[in-house]
C-alpha cells in the first residue's frame, strides 16, 4: 500500500513484465506503481515456470533412479513424500519472490493490492485506491482457458494453477489417476511429471497428435511416441462430449474416432490453452482496442491505440509476432518504460528470434519458423530432420531419443528455424537462436568448431546433411 496517488507510470499487474518496466522507470529517475490481486510476481514465479520446473526435475530424479539407462546400474526406488515435495516447492517460490520481487520495492517502485481496472485514460482503481499516471502499462497476463464442455461447470477440476503457492487451488496430494484435457506443452510437461510420480495419466487431445499447432509435425510425433513408450496414455482424435462427478472422481465421455468411450480418474486437469486477462480491467471505458482473442492490440512500440497506454507481456498474445513467454515480457516491459518515459527515445520490439523450450524429458527446443511457416512466407525451403542417434553425445550417454530439424532458405542457405527434441535441447537451442539473430547460414553451423561430444553438435550434424550423409562421417568430420 502507498499513500502516493500520482506516478509517472501506473502498471496493471506485478509479474515479470511489470517489474521490468518498473525497474527501467526507476533507472530513468521516474516513479512507478504496480497492482496485484493475487501474489506479487505474477504467474511465472508463483504458479508457472518456477514451480513446474522445480517439480519436473524432482520427477526426473525419481524416474531416472527407477530406470537407469546404463547396464550395470541396478534400478532403485525413491520414496515419494508429495506433501514435503510441495512444501519445498513453496519454500523455493517464497525465497525467489523475496529476492527477485519484494526486495526491489522502494521509494520509486511500489505496489497496491487489489483488482485493478481503468477508470479513465489516466486513472486506475486498485482496491480502494485511485492511481493516476502520465503513462499506463497493461501487463495483466493470461489465465487458463475454460472450454465449453457439458458438465464442466459442475465438476471440480484443476488447471495449470495447481502449482500455485499457498492458494486454495494448490494440489497438495498426488492423485492416483489423472485425466488431462489438451495436448499442448502444459499437458505434456505436467502429464509426464505426474506419471513419474506414480499417477496413472491419460491425455485426451482432439487433434491427430500432441503439439499439433505451431510446431513441426515431427516434434509432436516424436515426443508423443516417447511419452507413450514411457507409459503415459495418449488418446488423439478425442472430442470431449461431457464430464461428470462419480464417487470421489470424475468421468469423461469422449468421442474417439467416431466411437464413444468412457474415461475415469480421481482428478481432472483442463489444459486447453490460456487467454489474455482483459475482460474486467476496464479497457472498454477508455477505448483500448482488443484483438479477436481478447489480446490488447499494440504497435511496434507497444503502444495501444490510446498513445499513452501501453501493453506488454502475455496480455498482447501474438501481436507483433510476440510469444507468450516470461523473457519476452521482461524485455518488452523495459522497452515500454523507455518509450513511455524517456522523451524522444523510441525503441521498436524485435520478436524475430525468440527461443522457446518445453521441459519434457527429453526436452524440446524451438526457434524461428517451421517448414510450413517458411513456405507461407515465400521461402523455397531446404528442410532436413536428423535423428539423435547420429549425435555422438546422445549415444555416449545412452539417451538417443529425439531428433533435430533445420529449416533453411534453399537459395540463400540462411537458417530460418530449428526444432530439437533431445537431451539438453533447452540449452542447445540458444546457439541456434544466436546464429539466427545474425542471419547465419548453414555453412556457419558447419564451420563452427563444436566441443566433442556435446548435444550442440546436433546443429552441426544437421547442417552437414545439406551436403553429405552425416551417418557416413567420422567424429567431428565435416
Task: Give how far Cα 287 sits from Cα of 20, 276, 283, 451, Å.
Answer: 26, 17, 6, 55
Q: Which domains does the chain have, with CATH numbers?
A: 6-41+101-143+275-341 (3.50.50.60), 152-272 (3.50.50.60), 356-470 (3.30.390.30)
Can you give the pTM of this predicted structure? 0.95
Query: Can you give the pLDDT at residue 182?
Result: 97
Read off the C-alpha cell for 138. 497493461
CA distances from 380 to 261, 268, 420 (A): 44, 44, 21
Write out the three cell numbers for 49. 515456470
Please, what's the b/e burial string for 84-101 (b: 16 or more CB within 10 A of its CB; e: otherwise)? ebbeebbebbbebbeeeb
pLDDT tens for each residue of 31-83? 999 999 998 888 888 888 999 999 999 999 999 999 999 999 999 999 999 99
The three cell numbers of residue 304 are: 495501444
Q: What is the pLDDT of residues 128-165, one digit of tens each?
A: 999 999 999 999 999 999 999 999 999 999 998 898 87
Q: What angle do CA 419, 422, 426 make, to 5 degrees?
A: 65
Q: CA nearest 32: which of 61, 12, 16?
A: 12
Predicted pLDDT of residue 2: 63
DSSP letters along 215-269, please?
A: S-HHHHHHHHHHHHHHT-EEE-SEEEEEEEEETTEEEEEEEETTEEEEEEESEEE
Percent of the chain exceeding pLDDT 70 equals 99
Contacts of 73 (CB under 8 A, 6+ apart): none
pLDDT of residue 473: 87
Residues of the chain with pLDDT under 70: 1-3
pLDDT at 1: 52
**pLDDT at position 4:** 74
**DSSP one-letter string for 443-457:** HHHHHSPPPSS-TTH
The dihedral through the CA atoms of 94, 96, 97, 99 has a sign that is: positive
Amino acid at each position: 500500500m502507498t499513500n502516493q496517488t500520482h506516478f509517472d507510470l501506473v502498471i496493471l499487474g506485478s509479474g515479470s513484465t511489470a517489474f521490468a518496466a518498473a525497474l527501467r522507470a526507476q533507472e530513468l529517475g521516474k516513479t512507478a506503481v504496480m497492482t496485484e490481486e493475487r501474489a506479487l510476481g505474477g504467474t511465472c514465479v508463483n504458479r508457472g515456470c518456477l514451480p513446474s520446473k522445480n517439480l519436473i526435475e524432482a520427477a526426473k530424479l525419481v524416474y531416472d533412479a527407477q530406470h537407469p539407462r546404463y547396464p550395470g546400474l541396478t534400478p532403485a526406488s525413491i520414496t515419494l513424500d508429495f506433501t514435503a515435495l510441495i512444501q519445498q516447492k513453496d519454500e523455493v517460490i517464497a525465497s525467489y519472490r523475496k529476492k527477485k520481487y519484494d526486495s526491489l520495492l522502494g521509494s520509486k517502485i511500489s505496489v497496491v493490492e487489489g483488482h485493478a481496472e481503468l477508470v479513465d485514460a489516466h486513472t486506475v482503481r486498485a482496491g480502494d485506491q485511485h492511481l493516476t499516471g502520465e503513462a499506463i502499462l497493461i501487463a495483466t497476463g493470461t489465465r487458463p482457458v475454460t472450454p465449453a464442455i457439458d458438465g464442466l461447470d459442475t465438476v471440480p477440476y484443476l488447471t495449470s494453477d495447481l502449482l500455485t503457492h499457498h492458494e486454495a487451488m494448490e494440489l497438495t496430494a498426488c492423485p492416483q489417476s489423472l485425466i488431462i484435457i489438451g495436448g499442448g506443452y502444459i499437458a505434456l510437461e505436467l502429464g509426464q511429471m505426474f506419471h513419474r510420480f506414480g499417477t496413472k495419466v491419460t491425455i485426451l487431445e482432439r487433434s491427430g497428435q500432441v503439439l499439433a499447432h505451431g510446431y513441426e509435425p515431427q516434434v509432436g510425433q516424436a515426443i508423443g511416441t516417447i511419452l507413450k513408450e514411457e507409459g503415459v496414455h495418449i488418446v488423439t482424435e478425442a472430442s470431449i462430449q461431457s464430464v461428470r462427478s462419480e464417487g470421489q472422481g470424475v468421468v469423461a465421455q469422449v468421442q474417439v474416432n467416431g466411437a464413444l468411450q468412457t474415461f475415469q480418474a480421481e482428478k481432472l486437469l483442463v489444459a486447453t490453452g490460456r487467454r489474455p486477462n482483459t475482460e474486467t480491467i476496464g479497457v472498454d471505458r477508455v477505448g483500448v482496442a482488443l484483438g479477436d482473442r481478447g489480446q490488447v492490440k499494440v504497435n511496434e512500440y507497444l503502444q495501444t491505440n490510446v498513445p499513452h497506454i501501453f501493453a506488454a507481456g502475455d496480455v498482447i498474445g501474438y501481436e507483433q509476432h510476440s510469444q507468450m513467454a516470461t523473457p519476452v515480457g521482461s524485455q518488452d516491459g523495459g522497452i515500454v518504460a523507455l518509450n513511455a518515459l524517456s522523451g524522444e527515445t523510441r525503441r521498436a520490439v524485435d520478436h524475430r528470434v525468440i527461443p522457446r523450450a518445453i521441459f519434457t524429458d527429453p526436452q524440446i527446443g524451438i526457434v524461428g519458423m517451421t517448414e510450413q511457416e517458411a513456405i507461407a512466407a515465400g521461402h523455397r525451403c531446404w528442410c532436413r530432420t536428423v535423428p539423435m542417434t547420429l549425435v555422438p553425445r546422445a549415444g555416449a550417454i545412452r539417451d538417443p531419443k529425439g531428433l533435430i530439424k533445420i529449416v533453411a532458405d534453399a537459395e540463400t542457405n540462411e537458417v530460418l528455424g530449428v526444432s530439437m527434441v533431445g537431451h539438453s535441447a533447452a540449452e542447445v537451442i540458444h546457439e541456434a537462436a544466436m546464429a539466427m539473430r545474425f542471419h547465419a547460414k548453414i555453412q556457419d553451423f558447419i564451420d563452427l568448431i563444436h566441443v566433442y561430444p556435446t548435444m550442440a553438435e546436433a546443429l552441426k550434424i544437421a547442417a552437414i546433411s545439406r551436403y553429405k550423409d552425416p551417418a557416413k562421417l567420422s567424429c567431428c568430420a565435416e
